[in-house]
């Protein structure tokens, strides 16, 4: 089921920053207060959002590290993704559309794996991944565009045995919301937008790229 906020629909610059977006989502997720749910942030941009949700609802917080496999000439555009436990997804339509050779895909995947391992070491150290088999997972990012990377994260969570997955994202295009809603038990997205063009950053009045240092500091500042 999809939960949005009509007052935010088809609008831009609705959140001051990621922290405010997290507080808005927390108000929508109030039913999960006092439950066995765990909040998982996709770093780095999802961390400021997830920290506010976990803090407001008194829920534990961890990270679900996923990295895009990017085009050689555009490190912002991804044609696949690698998840923390090794799940790999390739968008074959993009791969063949860009005529990417096998060795290019292999090199891109290896680079993404290296990034995932670095972030796992930075954010989790040697802590074992939490047991998800009997609890609800609230998976958080700062927004979605195509949603392909999120699909890989969801696949990894299902493999990990998550009983129930709740996707919590501040902003996403209508078509991505419709594509992903069947993959989760609940989907919360206050700012759903239609139209031909979409950029996650347009949902925010203040936007910057969150680096690993900032994300780690936010995670360490949250009381255990």
Q: What is the CATH number of the domain that holds 82?
A: 3.30.1310
Residue-wise pLDDT tens digits, 14-44 = 999 999 999 999 999 999 998 999 999 999 9
Q: What is the pTM (predicted TM-score) of this model?
A: 0.93
Q: Tell which of 91, 123, 155 closes a domain.
A: 123
**Residue 185: which domain range?**
2-64+128-221
- Does 119 share its domain with 141? no
Residues 6+ apart with CB under 8 A from 121: none
φ and ψ at residue 143, rounded to 5 degrees: 160, 165
Q: What is the CATH number of the domain that holds 217?
A: 3.40.50.2020
Residue-wise pLDDT tens digits, 192-202 = 999 888 899 99
Are 85 and 129 a contacting pair, CB within 8 Å? yes
Least confident interval from 86-100, 128-142, 179-193: 86-100
Contacts 24+ apart (CB under 8 A), 50-55: 50/22, 50/140, 51/19, 51/22, 51/218, 51/219, 51/221, 51/222, 52/18, 52/19, 52/21, 52/22, 52/23, 52/25, 52/26, 53/22, 53/25, 53/26, 53/29, 53/138, 53/140, 53/168, 54/222, 55/222
* pLDDT tops 90 at residue 61: yes
Residues 6+ apart with CB under 8 A from 156: 64, 66, 83, 84, 85, 87
pLDDT band at residue 223, thresholds of 50, 70 and 90? low
How many domains would you assign to the chain? 2
- Does 39 share its domain with 138? yes
């Amino acid at each position: 089921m999809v939960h949005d906020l009509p007052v935010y629909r088809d609008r831009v610059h609705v959140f001051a920053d990621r922290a405010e977006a997290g507080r808005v989502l927390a108000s929508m997720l109030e039913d999960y207060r006092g439950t066995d749910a765990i909040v998982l942030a996709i770093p780095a941009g999802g961390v400021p959002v997830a920290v506010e949700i976990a803090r407001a609802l008194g829920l534990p917080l961890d990270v679900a590290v996923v990295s895009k496999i990017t085009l050689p000439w555009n490190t912002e555009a991804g044609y696949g993704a690698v998840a923390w436990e090794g799940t790999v997804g390739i968008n074959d339509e993009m791969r063949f559309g860009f005529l990417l050779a096998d060795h290019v895909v292999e090199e891109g995947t290896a680079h993404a794996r290296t990034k995932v391992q670095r972030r796992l070491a930075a954010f989790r150290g040697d802590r074992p991944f939490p047991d998800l088999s009997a609890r609800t997972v609230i998976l958080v990012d700062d927004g979605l565009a195509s949603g392909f990377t999120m699909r890989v994260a969801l696949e990894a969570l299902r493999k990990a045995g998550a009983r129930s997955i709740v996707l919590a994202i501040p902003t996403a295009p209508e078509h991505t919301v419709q594509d992903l809603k069947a993959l989760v038990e609940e989907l919360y997205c206050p700012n759903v937008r239609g139209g031909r063009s979409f950029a996650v950053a347009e949902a925010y009045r203040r936007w910057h790229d969150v680096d690993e240092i900032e994300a780690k500091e936010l995670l360490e500042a949250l009381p255990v």
